[in-house]
Structure 1
Amino acid sequence: MKPKISRRSALGKMAAGAAAASVAASLTKRMTAAETAAGAALKGRINHSVCKWCYPKVSLEDLCTAGKEMGLQSVELLTVDDFPTLRKHGLICAMVSGVPGGITDGLNRPENQERIVSYFEEVAPRVANAGFKNIICFSGNRKGMSDEEGLENCANALKRIVPICEKHRVVAAMELLNSKVDHKDYMCDHTKWGVELVKRVGSEYFKLLYDIYHMQIMEGDVIRTIRENREYIAHYHTGGVPGRHEIDDTQELNYATVMKAIVETGFKGHVAQEFVPARSDVLASLKQGVQICDV
């Protein structure tokens, strides 16, 4: 025969059970949140950045806020005028932009060189004072010029720029771009040409920006190229091939494997997402890209 349970006793036991269940649920919720946060935390072997131009409908303020939450250290291809916004969010600009002439009218033409040298004289100390490191530059288009003449002209110009960079301890980084799809006639379109230029200049304050998307189009053989030329590379950009969209399995490169190879070279610079999202939730695409590259 079961003992009789009073109403008061029954209610007391129910209340105690409910309290215990509430504590357990709260504990479970806290543990789940902690595990989620731990899972979302980045590994720290890749320093993550993003190129602002890929997000024209997202304000710099909003991109900084979202990027910070994702674990980005940098928003880049910005000018010195954007530094205060970055500073407010505790971010850096891992690759500073704004060089006169842009991609097409670069250092391979003597008539462009004076204004580009002047730009470095003006901007390099401001970049250094902000605590940033890299300033982008470009070879320019061929326009009928031979690659050898272009090498000589670029080297002569960079030998004027490098002392400025050395003084302020910043790096001039020339970007490798494809001339097959996106930047017809661009001269610095193969790693071999860029590496030869770095060797001729002969300073640790001039290196290459190796764009994985562009060099996959021009050369392929990305991992071996990175391993063999690691000492000449200051920075990396990503992008899905073909199309320059998300870097997931909708394109041909295995970015996780490429990132592991970059880490194995001892690289300590930044890797910037430079794909143009094809999906409507562009920040979700950015977060996915960061997670893919966080090896």
Structure 2
Amino acid sequence: MANLSRRSAIKSVVAGTAVAGVAAKLSPFAKAAEIITPALKGEMKQSVSHWCFSELSLDQLCITGKGIGLTGIDLCGPKEWPILKKHGMASPICNSAEINLTDGFNDKRFHTMLIQNYTEVIPLVAKAGHKNLICFSGSRRGMDDETGLKNCEESLKQLLPLAEKHGVVLVMELLNSKKDHKDYQCDRPYWGAELAKRLGSEHFKLLFDIYHMQVQVGDIIQNINDFHPYIAHYHTAGVPGRNEIDNTQELYYPAVMKAIKATGYKGFIGQEFVPKQKDKIASLKQAVQICDV
């Protein structure tokens, strides 16, 4: 996917007009002048989750996001990929094979359906030129850690040969079980890393959601340093509240981003905060700048 530099964005009359058109129509989104973004270093590729900015259509988010330095949209499936392609945007972490967040690979009752779903979607991801496909452990429902690991290992091992054949990575998201996703099993990086070790494949990795892991275990930079070999994607959000990643919250994101960069990470940083400020695009623009280390 082509990266649109700030210089080429300024030169592109068509793109500039499109961004202005989107901004002018939508409130509480930024005016065209506010979307103008200083030149970015661009060493950290950045994306955004559409659900956090649902007031914008996917087309509008692609246009607006591109204008502030984003190069991808997270959590899109086969129906959305043509829209991303039209705008030259990547799909850094794909979805549509999962059942939901609670019925996952840790429960044998869902293995047949999940294996069927992922068997169908993995080739589609590869054909569209994408790489990462999200998956979930599911809820514990009284299950101990070891049983959950064994069940996930058993089911995922059936899918890994297909994933390896197509160059697709199955990426299990780390979610907190303290507050937002009660009973979710893959709620600590060391549990996810243990599963990755048992599977022993570069085609299974973790989605390290910084917000969720700060709520669940804290010690974010140390956990990134310890487990970065197993991480394929990162999501951002402020703590507490899952809002802006500015100085109103407890994490200092420039340091977190520098730690990620120091590991040699070459993937995307996905903005997944829910803006509470009136000018939501200004919040997104600020987040992009904060993470541009």
2:87 is aligned to: 89
1:69 is aligned to: 67
5 Å-filtered alignment, 1:1-295, equals: 40-295=38-293
Structure 1 residue ranges without an equivalent (≥5): 1-36
Structure 2 residue ranges without an equivalent (≥5): 1-34
Partner Cα distance (1:262, 1:223) in 2: 8
What CA deviation, in whole Å up to 9, does each residue of 1:31-75 have, x standing for no partner? xxxxxx997222122110101111121111110000111111100
Does the residue aligned with 1:67 lie in a helix, a strand or coil? helix
Partner Cα distance (2:263, 2:98) in 1: 33
Q: With the length of structure 1 as denominator, give the TM-score of the two structures.
A: 0.86
2:10 is aligned to: none
Q: Decide whether the 8 Å contact of 1:95 with 1:136 is kept in 2.
A: yes
Hey, which of these two has a bigger chunk of helix by percent? 1
Does the residue aligned with 2:198 lie in a helix, a strand or coil? helix
Q: With the length of structure 2 as denominator, give the TM-score of the two structures.
A: 0.86
* Bigger shift: residues 80-89 or 123-132: 123-132
Equivalent residue letter for 1:200 = R
Q: Decide whether the 8 Å contact of 1:209 with 1:234 is kept in 2.
A: yes
Partner Cα distance (1:278, 1:72) in 2: 20
Distance change (3 Å), C-alpha of 1:38 and 1:283: closer
Q: Decide whether the 8 Å contact of 2:96 with 2:121 is kept in 1.
A: no
Aligned-pair identity in percent equals: 54
What CA deviation, in whole Å up to 9, does each residue of 1:142-197 have, x standing for no partner? 01111110000001111011111101001000000000110000000011100000
Q: Decide whether the 8 Å contact of 2:176 with 2:184 is kept in 1.
A: yes
Cα RMSD between the aligned structures? 1.3
Larger Rg: 1
What CA deviation, in whole Å up to 9, does each residue of 1:192-234 have, x standing for no partner? 1000000011100000000000000111111111111111100
Q: Which has the higher contact order (CA 8 A, sep 6+)?
A: 2
